[in-house]
Amino acid sequence: MGRKSLYLLIGGILIAYYIYTPLSDNIEEPWRLMWINAHLKTIENLATFVELLGLHHIMDSLKVAWSFYEVPPTSDENVTVTETKFNNILVRVYVPKRKSEVLRRGLFYIHGGGWCMGSAAVNDYDLLSRWTADRLDAVVISTNYRLAPKYHFPIQFEDVYNALRWFLRKTVLAKYGVNPERIGISGDSAGGNLAAAVTQQLLDDPDVKIKLKIQALIYPALQPLDVDLPSYQENSNFLLLSKSLMVRFWSEYFTTDRSLEKAMLSRQHVPVESSHLFKFVNWSSLLPERFIKGHVYNNPNYGSSELAKKYPGFLDVRAAPLLADDKKLHSLPLTYVITCQYDPLRDDGLMYVTRLRNAGVQVTHNHVEDGFHGAFSILELKISHRLINQYIEWLKENL
């Protein structure tokens, strides 16, 4: 074997080693998923390296990378797409072109990205909104919000809430031909967090007379108190979203001070005076039995009150919707929740389903046994189309 052939063989082996990740047999299109993961992992590794050099914050680098996937607001043969501002927040509006004899449904969508990156203009979110508007014959509002690390909680929450309140004004609904009795909200990952949070907030807002009919939450992040749930343990190094990256996202949502991230990883960020909040996220009593099997619940380790005083957001129900009491949950609308087996955030969604049902809320829970974080929004994958079809069919029946 010549030296050139040997080098090529070694290079091929190294590339295969970098790309290959052992996956469960029920994962569809494993090599395509591994290739997508390798691409994203490379971007994350480069961003980490740039941060270690002190040149750029990792989230700013990832934000730049995501911006290359953005597309302009271009109308097509089925849907008119425009950009405008709702209360100074940039949104995309998707309106079906075909004539309607009745007022249309309205769906307010919030993109994911760990509160740090992404936008309504990202190609996959743009396509999702187009498909939803066309197939549901609905007006879809896909909102932006200011991002960390430049902006921290509650800015993201407030941006989304202010844009939603603007949309729910009678004059705005009339302008877009939306039926005020058929409005829903939806979001994935961090967007699911924001959707759940603003839906709770609306319940206490006397100025908003129009209420949401449904909420649809796609693998939502719902609490940062316990990041050692069974799903975090089982999927700590799974593709697309690792435990360490998710904890970094949570920490960046509140501060660039990495002492919070460190405390979260060691489970020492919650002070003893906030110990009562753990009853809302106690997975030993809130998870179905099959997700508990093989895991032992350990009582939390309490930290000093210093972090909570400096960054109280991580104990705020507007950032952690799972901390809402049962009285608040009882008044929430019809709910659809997607959880994925191979997702660190799986148990957040599972616990919310349990708590909502215990509070008397009607919930449709779609647990995806071969799913993983990102399965809904990475449109290159077959599983994404399957989940979107199920999602739209549920919206057709319930919105």
Could you list the active site residues? 189, 343, 373
Give the pairing of strands 104-110 and 178-188. Answer: parallel
Secondary structure (H, E, C), the chain: CCHHHHHHHHHHHHHHHHHCCCCCCCCCCHHHHHHHHHHHHHHHHHHHHHHHCCCCCHHHHHHHHHHCCECCCCCCCCEEEEEEEECCEEEEEEEECCCCCCCEEEEEEECCCCCCCCCCCEHHHHHHHHHHHHHHCEEEEEECCCCCCCCCCCHHHHHHHHHHHHHCCHHHHHHHCEEEEEEEEEEECHHHHHHHHHHHHHCCCCCCCCCCCEEEEECCCCCCCCCCCHHHHHCCCCCCCCHHHHHHHHHHHHCCCHHHHHHHHCCCCCEHHHHHHHHHCCHHHHCCHHHHCCCCCCCCCCECCHHHHHCHHHHCCCCCHHHCCHHHHHCCCEEEEEEEEECCCHHHHHHHHHHHHHCCCCEEEEEEEEEECCCCCCCCCHHHHHHHHHHHHHHHHHC
- Tell me the HSE value of 232 on the side-chain side, using a 13 A CA sphere: 18
- Name the token pair of 111: 């993109």
Q: In the block, which residue shows the tokens 């603007």?
A: 166
Query: Taking phi first (over 0 means left), then psi (-120 to 50 degrees means alpha), and beta for anything else, what does residue 298 get?
Result: beta
Strands (E), 97-162: 104-110, 138-143
